[in-house]
């Protein structure tokens, strides 16, 4: 299945600039239509973008998501653990702020 950029943008709810940013960070690598040079996205591009979006949902930046997706599976667990610790630390910080506000 081949998609145009506008199709990919609509499916994922992203702007043209956001899709290009994913390309710039190496997550997407569309082919080009030889007739008009428009970007053409594959099923694999859709899967990669879906994975990147899931990582974004977990709090990863686009750059972090790209690095995570390029890393070997053995290292991904450690990256996820670090992110989990970052989230735990942030929750503790926010809980302290909440407690201060309640006083």
Q: 10 and 55: one domain?
A: yes
pTM of the model: 0.82
User: What CA dihedral angle connects 1, 30, 22 and 71, to 10 degrees?
Assistant: 90
Give which of 87, 11, 42, 6 is closest to 95, Cα–Cα.
87
pLDDT per position as a tens digit, 21-73: 999 999 999 999 899 989 999 999 999 999 999 999 999 999 999 999 998 88
pLDDT per position as a tens digit, 60-96: 999 999 999 998 888 899 999 999 999 999 999 999 9
Give which of 12, 4, 19 is closest to 54, Cα–Cα.
12
Q: 33 and 50: one domain?
A: yes
Phi-psi region for residue 89, left (φ > 0), alpha (ψ -120 to 50) or beta? alpha
Q: 35 and 82: one domain?
A: no
Q: 56 and 88: one domain?
A: no
Q: 9 and 53: one domain?
A: yes
Q: 99 and 59: one domain?
A: no
Structural domains counted in the chain = 2
Q: 78 and 45: one domain?
A: no
Q: 42 and 5: one domain?
A: yes
Domain limits for position 21 = 1-70
């Amino acid at each position: 299945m081949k998609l145009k950029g506008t199709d990919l943008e609509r499916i994922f709810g992203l702007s043209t600039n956001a899709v290009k940013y994913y390309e710039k960070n190496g997550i997407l690598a569309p082919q080009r239509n030889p007739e008009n040079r428009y970007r053409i996205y594959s099923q694999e591009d859709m899967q990669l973008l879906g994975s990147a979006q899931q990582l974004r949902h977990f709090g990863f930046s686009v750059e972090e998501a790209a690095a995570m997706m390029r890393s070997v599976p053995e290292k991904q667990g450690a990256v996820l653990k670090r992110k989990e610790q970052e989230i735990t630390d942030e929750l503790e910080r926010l809980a302290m702020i909440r407690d201060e506000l309640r006083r």
